Structure 1
Amino acid sequence: MKILLDTNIVIHRETGKIVRQDIGQLFFWLDKLRHEKYIHPISIIEIEKYKDEQVLKTIRVKLESYNLIKHPAKFGTSINQLSGNVDKNQNDVYDTQLLNEVYEGRVDCLISEDKKIHLKAAQLGISKQVFKIQTFLEKATAENPDLVNYKILAVKKIDFAEVDINDPFFDSFRLDYAEFNKWFNKKSEDPCYVCYQDDKLIAFLFIKIEDENENHSEITPSFPKKKRLKIGTLKVTGNGYKIGERFLKTVFDNASQYKVHEIYVTIFNKRPEQEQLIDLLQEWGFKKYGIKTTPNGEEFVYTRTYGKSLPVNIQFPKLTYPFISRKTNKYIIKIEPQYHTELFPDSINTKEDSSKYTENEPHRNRISKVYISHSKDRNLKAGDIIVIYRMGETTPKKYSSTVTTICIVESIRNDFKNFEEFYDACNRRTMIARQALLDDWWNKFPGNRPFVVNFLYAHSFPTPKPTLNDLNVIGVIPDIMNMPRGFIPLDNDQFNTLLKFAYKKKQS
């Protein structure tokens, strides 16, 4: 496969200065998969503008390891029209020239962190061939699990004192905050969340609960008094494992536990990793509020209203996640045990070995997941609630089968033209391998192709979880010998009865 690399990725790789740790992962996978790495003559022109002559000499030597596009594709009608409409300067035209190589089929894909490039790719209809580093890593790891040479990649809660303050991971924080080391040492007994890959720190999260009297004098406009959760420190290096989404689940879980009314974060926008974090926060409902001014400079402040008083956005449930609407339809869906805990690691049963389910797969770390079905009932819609039923492994099944999780439907896909479209919809959100998706799902019933439910993993029922026998006793499943196939509808009374029973069972 021919992979065209944007200029900035090449510069980050070859200057010798580690600016982004995910660059190393990217090149690891490019080499592992034996992809051909290409650069465009435009990149040579841009690199020659580099001011440090010594660094430039080094880069020139290293560029010999890349394939150079010798004959750039000429602009056709569509590209000319796009360029004329959106390109404002020469750099924009250069970016369009990179895209043109993909559009004309000269290369298979382009990897770039440039937002404008991705917007133009969407207009040209080639978004699936233009990747950010993170999305390429997700694709590579999901499609090649046998090539992943590390098995443990778990999010852990530990104290600051257990983390090496001198780890290069924190260098970017030291650049942004002069007092970082002093602040870090003061937090020695406080908890934080970390993720290591091959004994290397790749993700870090610190959160703080603030009461109504917290001093926010550095923030403009001023904060009204509220109980808040502050995302104090959050950094994730790209590795293809959706740890950022996993950390957001941790943030939301803590916000629910401590009953806060708002979540906020202050963040600079100096580097691509910060820009990616801002994109992630906005995707999940955070909005730009104002500015925090300190001797370190001006940071953006992003906030998200939180609590049951928040009106639920039924059409776009990510924006008000994890809250659900009682006005939507509700269903129970059955999942076989071998799939269940892979998708829902927080909903593990007490008899399962949790050590087998460290979060080392994209589908485990994602809040966003998929359910694949051949059911004739395809009327689900955004905002609907699905209750996950884990089928039992031991007899009697009425005691080993449990309901474990509440999820929110995000969207339905039922219009696949071919297997590739179906595979793209499932990839990275499910544990099912490509060949199994083809044989066991796409080709199983040629006259009744599967459809895909995109949903959000919202809440785990407390342990002990309600069993099938419990559902029968409380009237949610009246006849356990004749359970319906597919999606089992619940009315509001049944759903409320289930919730009351599940949480009352926890207290008893």
Structure 2
Amino acid sequence: MKLLLDSYVFEEVKRDKVLSENLEDLRNTLKEASIELDSRPLSKADLKKLADLFDFIITENRDIHKISNELGISDKILLLDEALQIFKVYLTRDRIIIPPALKSEPVSNLDYSDPIFDSLKEEYNPEFERWFKKISDEGRNSWVYYRKDGSIGALLIYKFEDESIDNSKPPLPKKKRLKIATLKVTHIGYKIGELFIKMAVDLSVRNGINEIYLTHFTKPPDRLVELISEYGFNKIAIKDNGEDIFVKRLIAKGYEGLKYCSPIEISRIFYPSFYDGDDVKKFVLPILPAYHDRLFTDFPCRQTTLFEHSGEFIVEGNTIKKAYLSHSNIKRIGPGDLILFYRSEDLQAITSVGVVESIHVGISDAERILQLAAKRTVFSRMEIDKLVEEGPVSVFLFRHHIHFTKPLGLEELIGNGILKAAPQSAMELSTERYIKIRERGGIDGRFAIH
């Protein structure tokens, strides 16, 4: 996006403190959002031509605003305070729900001498120092996890791009992409790498970006490649310097090989897209608020805890691949089927969609449950023992894909003939009832394949 600022504004702000503060605020906002701002004198004669060259023109000249109405381009001509409000809202699209243990941090605030950068300095020497200074000066942003001693335990630096990648074989065409410039995790055991991928996907979705990529010097065995491959990153090119380029597509529609992909493959390769056509069944699954809070820490209405604000993670909330335990004994659920989580008691609403990887029913052995779900579950050993005492347990292993933008409350569900009452255990939905939920819940049609 390109903006033009009437250079006469600089004269006007000298006489108006409010204008001066607004201008400074606007310039900082645009810098943070990586929006290009040009400045030059603006005349009535060249207004139409400049309106064709720039997305917006910012001026305090009221005559210019009047002429823009006559030319039919008034939507592109902004006052300073209008621009500030518009682009502050624009910038909020760059902000997503992140755990309190992570910090959104300008790269310029990072300690270049931190050990997390040592391997990068070695790999990219001597270019890394120049690159780090350059992105610091640009105002590039990052997500950081700081250990208790102040050192960096995990880091993701990202960048919005809308350009071609020419220094690779094959070259990649011009396209809006989110680039993961750096992804490093040394604080192991907290699923932060998986969390970073989930956040990068969320950020891309909020900004209308359908492709994420990163470059990496692959050195088998490679833990980063193992991680990103699990969520749909594929090597598609090699840079001139020998780095591999891994790309992830978020949209399955238009992919030539889509008809050969199973629902599970669509879930893995094109996450957060998922298949919800006639080849899979759909189920509503009730979940208590306490477990919903722990399983879906990115749910918009959720309150964070003091534990999280002390710098700790609810690890199962970091994951895309999750597990849920229930006494529901439904054997009809299979790989690729959808589960729609119904948060009981307080919200009493369908909130979220997951794709089943596997289900294991009728288990009465706590050790077996731990074997299946230890890396994913929100349940403690004590809770598992209690569940087993109450009866055979079903283990749902699934991938969380999306939250409804409009959670569907019980009154609406009953009023539209979707449910007869609050679900007490897993229950199957007809295609017609599921479609009503999908349409009313605000699922973005780009991500539902049917």
What TM-score do the two structures reach when normalised by structure 2? Answer: 0.68
Instruction: State how far apart, in whole Å, the 2-side matches of 1:162 and 1:496 are.
Output: 47
Contact 1:341 1:348 in 2 (8 A): no
SS at 1:431 equivalent: coil
| Aligned partner (choices 244, 262, 267) of residue 300 of structure 1 | 244
Aligned-partner residue type, residue 169 of structure 2:
T
Cα shift readout 1:411-441 (whole Å, capped 9, x = no counterpart) = 1224869432221112131232113212x22
Instruction: State how far apart, in whole Å, the 2-side matches of 1:336 and 1:207 are.
Output: 36
Aligned-partner residue type, residue 319 of structure 2:
R
Aligned-partner residue type, residue 329 of structure 1:
K
2:231 is aligned with 1:259? no
The alignment-based identity, stated in percent, is 31
Equivalent position of 2:190 in the other structure: 241
Equivalent position of 1:197 in the other structure: 147
Instruction: State how far apart, in whole Å, the 1-side matches of 2:305 and 2:332 are.
Output: 35
SS at 1:423 equivalent: helix
2:293 is aligned with 1:341? yes
2:356 is aligned with 1:413? no
| Aligned partner (choices 436, 441, 444) of residue 387 of structure 2 | 441
Equivalent position of 2:333 in the other structure: 380
How far residue 348 of structure 1 moved from its aligned partner, in angstroms, is: 4.5
| Aligned partner (choices 317, 320, 345) of residue 392 of structure 1 | 345
Equivalent position of 1:492 in the other structure: 431
Q: Which runs of 5+ in 1 are unaligned?
A: 1-151, 394-399
Instruction: State how far apart, in whole Å, the 1-side matches of 2:129 and 2:308 are.
Output: 34
Contact 1:256 1:307 in 2 (8 A): no
SS at 2:408 equivalent: coil
Equivalent position of 2:319 in the other structure: 366
How far residue 203 of structure 1 moved from its aligned partner, in angstroms, is: 1.0
Aligned-partner residue type, residue 193 of structure 2:
G
2:275 is aligned with 1:325? yes
1:371 to 1:210, Cα distance in 2 relative to 1, 3 A: same
Equivalent position of 2:21 in the other structure: none
| Aligned partner (choices 412, 415, 419) of residue 473 of structure 1 | 415
1:392 to 1:334, Cα distance in 2 relative to 1, 3 A: same
2:398 is aligned with 1:455? yes
Equivalent position of 2:160 in the other structure: 209
Contact 1:218 1:292 in 2 (8 A): yes
Higher mean C-alpha deviation, range 327-336 or range 301-310:
301-310
Equivalent position of 2:58 in the other structure: none
2:185 is aligned with 1:185? no
How far residue 488 of structure 1 moved from its aligned partner, in angstroms, is: 2.4
2:190 is aligned with 1:268? no
1:380 to 1:299, Cα distance in 2 relative to 1, 3 A: same
* Dislocated runs of 4+, deviation >6 Å: none
Equivalent position of 1:157 in the other structure: 104
What's the RMSD between the two structures over aligned residues? 2.6
Instruction: State how far apart, in whole Å, the 1-side matches of 2:307 and 2:108 are.
Output: 27
Cα shift readout 1:378-415 (whole Å, capped 9, x = no counterpart) = 2211111111111124xxxxxx3222211111112248
Instruction: State how far apart, in whole Å, the 2-side matches of 1:453 and 1:342 are.
Output: 16
Aligned-partner residue type, residue 206 of structure 1:
I
Instruction: State how far apart, in whole Å, the 2-side matches of 1:354 and 1:405 are.
Output: 21
Cα shift readout 1:175-234 (whole Å, capped 9, x = no counterpart) = 1222223222322322211112213311111222322xx242221122234332222111
Equivalent position of 1:404 in the other structure: 351
Contact 1:342 1:357 in 2 (8 A): no
Instruction: State how far apart, in whole Å, the 2-side matches of 1:384 and 1:173 are.
Output: 42
| Structure 1 or 2: more strand by fraction | 2
Equivalent position of 2:226 in the other structure: 279
Contact 1:374 1:451 in 2 (8 A): yes
Instruction: State how far apart, in whole Å, the 2-side matches of 1:248 and 1:476 are.
Output: 34
How far residue 238 of structure 1 moved from its aligned partner, in angstroms, is: 4.2
Aligned-partner residue type, residue 200 of structure 1:
S
1:332 to 1:385, Cα distance in 2 relative to 1, 3 A: same
How far residue 339 of structure 1 moved from its aligned partner, in angstroms, is: 1.0
Aligned-partner residue type, residue 190 of structure 1:
R
Contact 1:383 1:408 in 2 (8 A): yes
Cα shift readout 1:264-302 (whole Å, capped 9, x = no counterpart) = 211012486xx10011111222222231123xxx11122
Instruction: State how far apart, in whole Å, the 1-side matches of 2:328 and 2:248 are.
Output: 37
Instruction: State how far apart, in whole Å, the 2-side matches of 1:423 and 1:324 are.
Output: 28
Instruction: State how far apart, in whole Å, the 2-side matches of 1:226 and 1:355 are.
Output: 42
Contact 1:204 1:235 in 2 (8 A): yes
SS at 1:442 equivalent: helix
Contact 1:219 1:290 in 2 (8 A): yes
Cα shift readout 1:345-373 (whole Å, capped 9, x = no counterpart) = 011526x3465556613212111111112
How far residue 489 of structure 1 moved from its aligned partner, in angstroms, is: 2.1
How far residue 248 of structure 1 moved from its aligned partner, in angstroms, is: 0.7
How far residue 158 of structure 1 moved from its aligned partner, in angstroms, is: 2.3
How far residue 458 of structure 1 moved from its aligned partner, in angstroms, is: 1.1
